[in-house]
A and B are shown apart, each in its own frame.
Chain A
Amino acid sequence: MTGRRGGRPLVPAYLSTGGVARPSRNSLERLSVLTGGGGPEPAGLPAAQHALLDVLDGGSLTVVETAALLELPVSAVRVLAAELIDQGLVSARPPIPVAALPAPDLLKRVADGLRALKQ
């Protein structure tokens, strides 16, 4: 039963995409953290951008959580968020702060955290 082995390596879709859906910053991952509050909302902002700012009112969210709440595909939120980042209305940080890398004990902390959840 070896038929399933082999094949070509995978490249993250959004890094290889040349179409419209490519965000202006391709560093936005599903777990990148979006934070609003970058200034007063300009008048006449498109509805979708307004909705995104609205869900970030009161705290930060990952890209994927934002997508779920807005009922939009993640690819769409990447584009919207990138536009808002370019306008200085939203800031984004990577899932793991670059300053914290490498995080050698991260896996151990994940294991400890999971163990602590057991009832």
Chain B
Amino acid sequence: MASAPSSSSPGSTGAAGARGIHLPDTARELVKILVAGPFGVGKTTLIDSVSEIRPLHTEEHLSEASARVDDLAGVRDKTTTTVAIDFGRISLGGGVVLYLFGTPGQERFRSLWADIAYGALGALVLVDTRRIDDSFDVLGLVEETGLPYAVALNTFPDSRPYTEEQLRRSLDLEAGTPMVTCDARDTNSSIDALLALVQHLIARNRPETR
């Protein structure tokens, strides 16, 4: 909703538009994490707060399979439903580049979801506790895809103070799923939420030593 697809650097992109966003020569391992959640939960805000490139987005046909090659030359079918998917990039040193994909979770995005999730390390699922039900679709998709995930609760001024136990129960979280609170507008807070996910991924991968 917040995105204005065609207002930023239309057609004029070319080499000049790309300058400054090319990958560093040192980039070697490119990994991605999904930042998932319903509209308005704070996905774009979180990605912007940690991204090193100006936030970019793609316009995706809701049914990728029906996208036609004829659309490519710029003849776009105006009746096709599209959704803007934002993403950000963070160079982490040592040749690792992390991409964050803001991924809406509604059922109707199912095929698009599968494509974006392909190869992802995991998902950070943002939840607005004022409308918990809105997160069910996305949690369902994450679990179906088999993506490991952590939950970040974005608190808004009028959020009610639920207990952790209440939230875990209403979200029906898989046992051991990390749940943290997060202010997506704050860089450090967003990084901490991502770290909670990555620590969880590391712990899952560790061979049992007990």
Contact = CB atoms under 8 A, between A and B. Distances in A.
Interface string B79-115: 0001000010110111010110100000000111111
Interface string B11-24: 10111011101110
A10 B144 contact: yes
A12 B29 CA distance: 21
Interface stretch (B37-45, B175-183, B196-204): B196-204
A58 B201 CA distance: 36
A4 B139 contact: yes
A96 B69 contact: no
Interface in B1-50: 5-6, 9-11, 13-15, 17-19, 21-23, 25, 27-32, 50
A107 B205 contact: yes
A54 B187 contact: no
A3 B114 contact: no
Interface string B40-76: 0000000000100000111111001111110111100
Interface string A23-43: 000000111010000000000
A103 interface: yes
B125 to A, nearest CB: 12
Contacts of A7: 140, 144
Nearest to B89: A65
Contacts of B96: 106, 109-110, 113
Contact of A30 (B9, B11, B115): B115
A19 to B, nearest CB: 6
Given A4-B137, A10-B144, A21 B64 contact: yes
A75 interface: yes
Size bracket of the A interface: 35 or more
B110 to A, nearest CB: 7
B50 A117 contact: yes
A45 interface: no
B5 A71 contact: yes
A74 interface: yes
Given A4-B137, A62-B30, A29 B73 contact: no
Contact of B140 (A4, A112, A118): A4
8 contacts: A1-B171, A9-B146, A54-B14, A58-B19, A107-B201, A109-B93, A113-B96, A115-B195
Interface of B: 5-6, 9-11, 13-15, 17-19, 21-23, 25, 27-32, 50, 56-61, 64-69, 71-74, 82, 87, 89-90, 92-94, 96, 98-99, 101, 110-119, 121, 136-137, 139-141, 143-146, 169-172, 187-188, 191-192, 194-195, 198-199, 201-202, 205
Interface of A: 1-14, 16-17, 19-21, 29-31, 33, 46-48, 51, 54-62, 64-65, 67-76, 79-80, 95-97, 100, 103, 106-119
Please name the 3 residue pairs, one residue from A and one from B, whose CB atoms are nearest each other, closest first.
A59-B22, A113-B92, A68-B56
